Chains A and B, each alone.
Chain A
Amino acid sequence: MKKIIKYVMTDILRNRIVLIYTVFLFITSLSMFSLEDNVNKGLLSLLNIILIIVPLVSIIFSTIYVYNSAEFIELLVSQPLRRKSIWLSLFTGLASSLALAFLVGTGIPVLIYQANNIGFMMIAMGILLSIIFVAIAMLAAVKMRDKAKGIGAAILLWLYFTLLFDGLVLFLLFQFADYPLEKPMVGVTALNPVDLGRILILLQMDVSAMMGYTGAVFKDFFGTYTGVMVSFVAMFMWILFPLWSSTRKFNRKDL
C-alpha cells in the first residue's frame, strides 16, 4: 500500500497542475490579506475560495486523474495487489497531495495573518473539503465508465453542493415559511459538507449576532463542544461514505 501511495504521489507531484494550484492559492490568499484594507474582508474572500474553488479543483482534478490513470490502475490490478489497497492508495495519494497543496497555498498565509480560531477553522475546513471532494470525485469516476460523462457528473456534483443544494434549501424555507425551521435546518446543514464548513467558519467569525435567531440556534448547537464534534463526525462521514461506496464498486469493476 505504501509503495502504491508513493507512486501515486510522485506521479501527482510530477503533474504540474497541483503545483500550479498551490501557487494560485498562495498568491490569491496572500493578496487577499495584503490588498484588502481590513483583515475581515480578506477572510471573507478566502471563505469563498475555500467553499467554491477548493471543492471545484479537488473534484475535477481527482476525476480527471482517476480516468487518466486507467492504464496505471489496470497495470496494478493485474499484479498481486489487493484491489482495495490500490483504490485506497489512489485516494490517499490524491487526498494528501490536494490537502497539502491547500495547506501550503492557503494555510501558510492564514497562519501568518490570522493565527487564531478563525484561521485554524478555515484551514481545517479547507483540508476536510479537499478530501471530501476527492472521495466524491472517485465515486463519480468509478460509477461512470465514460470519461466525458464522469467529468460532467463531477461538475454537476460540485454545482449541486455549492449552489443547487442551497437553492433547494431556500425553496423549502419559503414553502414551509409558516413552520419554525431553525432547528431542522441545523440537521439539513449536515447534508451538505460545504454548508457545514461555511457555518462552522462563520460561527468562529462571530457573525452569529448578525444571523439573528437562526444564528442563535446555530450557535447553540455548533458553538458547543458536542456540536463541533458532531459536525466533524459528519464531515468525516462525508469522506468515509463515498469512499466506502466507491471501494465496493471498484472491487467489482471490470477493467
Chain B
Amino acid sequence: MIIATNVTKSFGKLKALDDVSVTCNKGECIALVGPNGSGKTTLVKTILGMVVQDSGFITFNGNNILHHWKYRDQIGYMPQTGRYPDNMTIGHVIDMMKDIRGKEAILDEELFASFDLQSLLNKRMRTLSGGTRQKVSATLAFLFSPAVLILDEPTAGLDPVASEILKEKIRKEKKKGKLVLITSHILSELDDLVTQVIYMQDGKMLFHKNIDELRSETGEEKLNRAIAHFMTKN
C-alpha cells in the first residue's frame, strides 16, 4: 500500500533519513521503533507529505505522493504532539475537519464518545492539557474511518485508562484489515499489537521484520527484549 524507495532527507548536516526503503501492506500493524532522534517522526511526516524528501520517492497505492495529494484522505494521522489553532474550541476543530474531509466519509465517533469529548466541546485548544490534546488527536485520526492509520507516539501523555481505550481501538481497526503504523520508543506497550517491526537508528533503517520471525530469531517473547537482543548481537 505504501512503498518508500531510497528516501533520503537531511536537515542541514543532520541526516534524518538515510536511504530508507520500506513497504507497508494492508492488514499490517507496523511498529516503527528506535531511539529518540532516529528519524521515526521524519519518516512518518515524509509519508504524509509534510516533509519533502531530498531524494527517493514514496508511492501510495502506486501513485507518487508528490503529485497526488488526494491520498491523504485515506490516512488518519495522530501527531506526536497535537498542535491546534489556539483560538479554536474542540468543537470548532472537529467541525472544521469534518468540513475539510467532506461528507462522504463514514464517521467513526467511537473514540469521541469513549473519551467523553462532548463535555469539553467548548474548551479552547490553548486551555487543554497535553493528554486532552492527545485525545482530540486520536479522535480526529480515527474519525473518518481511514484505510491507513499513522500514529506517532500515540500513548505518550495519555492516562492509563485512555491509553487502554486507544489500544483497544487500534486492535479493533487492525482486525478490520487496516494498515496501522505506530511509532514509539516505549516498546513494551506494543507487544500485543504489532505484526511487524521496523527498527531505525540515526536515520537508517536497520531492519524490517515480522514479529514472529523476530521472536523466533532471538528466542525472546517480549518485544523490547527481542530488540535488545538483536541490538547486542549486532
A–B: direct contact at CB < 8 Å = yes
Q: Identify the A interface with B (CB < 8 A).
A: 3-4, 7, 11, 14-15, 68-72, 74-83, 251-255
26 A-B residue contacts at CB 8 Å? Answer: A3-B96, A7-B96, A11-B87, A14-B87, A68-B86, A71-B83, A71-B85, A75-B84, A75-B85, A77-B48, A78-B48, A78-B77, A78-B79, A79-B100, A80-B69, A80-B70, A80-B71, A80-B100, A80-B101, A81-B69, A81-B72, A82-B69, A83-B69, A254-B9, A254-B50, A255-B51
Tell me if B69 and A3 are in contact (CB < 8 A). Answer: no
Tell me if B100 and A81 are in contact (CB < 8 A). Answer: yes
> Measured between C-beta atoms, what is the minimum distance from B106 to chain A in Å?
16
Question: CB of B45 within 8 A of chain A?
Answer: yes
The docked-state distance in angstroms from the alpha carbon of A74 to that of B82 is 10
Q: Which chain A residue has the least Cβ–Cβ distance from B83?
A: A71
Interface centre among A70, A71, A83, A253 (most CB of B within 10 A): A71
Q: Which chain A residue has the least Cβ–Cβ distance from B73?
A: A80
Given A78-B50, A254-B51, answer yes or no on A69-B101 (Cβ-Cβ < 8 Å).
no
Interface centre among A3, A4, A69, A78 (most CB of B within 10 A): A78
Question: CB of B97 within 8 A of chain A?
Answer: yes
Which one, B11, B87, B101, contacts A79 given CB within 8 A? B101
Question: CB of B192 within 8 A of chain A?
Answer: no
Tell me if A3 and B73 are in contact (CB < 8 A). Answer: no
Which one, B48, B69, B77, B84, contacts A72 given CB within 8 A? B84
The docked-state distance in angstroms from the alpha carbon of A69 to that of B87 is 11
Tell me if A74 and B50 are in contact (CB < 8 A). Answer: yes
Which residues from A are CB-within-8-Å of B56? none
Tell me if A252 and B52 are in contact (CB < 8 A). Answer: yes
> Measured between C-beta atoms, what is the minimum distance from B198 to chain A in Å?
21
Tell me if B77 and A76 are in contact (CB < 8 A). Answer: no
Given A79-B72, A80-B73, A253-B52, answer yes or no on A74-B100 (Cβ-Cβ < 8 Å).
no
Q: How big is chain B's contact interface, by range? A: 20 to 34
Question: CB of B37 within 8 A of chain A?
Answer: no
Given A69-B85, A72-B84, A80-B71, answer yes or no on A255-B100 (Cβ-Cβ < 8 Å).
no
Chain B 54-86 near chain A by CB (<8 Å), digits 1 or 0: 000000000000000111110101010001111
> Measured between C-beta atoms, what is the minimum distance from B132 to chain A in Å?
15
Tell me if A71 and B87 are in contact (CB < 8 A). Answer: no
The docked-state distance in angstroms from the alpha carbon of A78 to that of B46 is 10
Tell me if B52 and A254 are in contact (CB < 8 A). Answer: yes
Tell me if A77 and B49 are in contact (CB < 8 A). Answer: yes
Which residues from B are CB-within-8-Å of A14? 87
Which one, A71, A77, A253, contacts B84 given CB within 8 A? A71
Tell me if A75 and B83 are in contact (CB < 8 A). Answer: yes
Known: A11-B88, A80-B71. 15 other contacts (CB 8 A): A3-B99, A3-B100, A11-B85, A71-B83, A75-B83, A75-B84, A75-B85, A76-B100, A80-B70, A80-B72, A80-B101, A83-B49, A254-B11, A255-B45, A255-B50
> Measured between C-beta atoms, what is the minimum distance from B11 to chain A in Å?
8
The docked-state distance in angstroms from the alpha carbon of A72 to that of B93 is 10
The docked-state distance in angstroms from the alpha carbon of A72 to that of B88 is 10
Which residues from A are CB-within-8-Å of B71? 80
Which residues from B are CB-within-8-Å of A11? 85, 87-88
The docked-state distance in angstroms from the alpha carbon of A103 to that of B102 is 34
The docked-state distance in angstroms from the alpha carbon of A7 to that of B95 is 11
Which residues from B are CB-within-8-Å of A251? 52
Which residues from B are CB-within-8-Å of A79? 72-73, 97, 100-101
Which residues from A are CB-within-8-Å of B52? 251-254
Q: Which of B87-117 contact A (CB under 8 A)?
A: 87-88, 96-97, 99-101
> Measured between C-beta atoms, what is the minimum distance from A201 to chain B in Å?
37
Which residues from A are CB-within-8-Å of B100? 3-4, 76, 79-81
